[in-house]
Amino acid sequence: MKKRTYYAIAAILLFFGLGAALDFGVTKEDHLETYVHRIERSLHKKESEVYSFLSDTGFIFRQLRGVEYLPSPQQKADLDHLLDLSQKQYNIRLYYKDSLVYWLNNRAYLSPEQAVALSKEPEKVRLLRLPNGYFELIKQKLSEDVMAPP
């Protein structure tokens, strides 16, 4: 046999051995643990974005009142911010009493019955199962001066 054939056989055995070692060395639990960490990082990032939105009471107030009364530069800034928010992979909804007064997109939709049931619950963070998947629900009350009807 030629030298190249021996090198080819050695390379094949090396790659086969490396593949077998990796296959036996990484368990299903390792894959699941990595997956859990990725989901947790994603949820924490989205949570911080939602809390940032909820803390920006000036922006919420302007959205509930209407941007047509703002000066042009402020209108453009708010509309650009709204466009950025609408591209997110989550939904933000604001209710005043039992009425929906603001929503970001239609990725997650609560039925009227679910909205009424949730309005009676205290502030909390939990998972909520909807027809199109599981969503993290963050319920937080805003001050009356932000949410007062126009």
pLDDT of 148 over the 60 cut: no
> What is the rounded average pLDDT for all residues in the chain?
82
d(CA 64, CA 119): 19
Contact 100, 93 (CB under 8 A): yes
Rounded to two decimals, the pTM is: 0.66
Winning range, highest mean pLDDT, from 9-18, 90-99, 128-137: 9-18
Q: What is the mean pLDDT of residues 77-93?
A: 85
Helix (H/G/I), strand (E/B), else coil: 132: coil
Confidence (pLDDT) at 40: 92
Confidence (pLDDT) at 115: 81
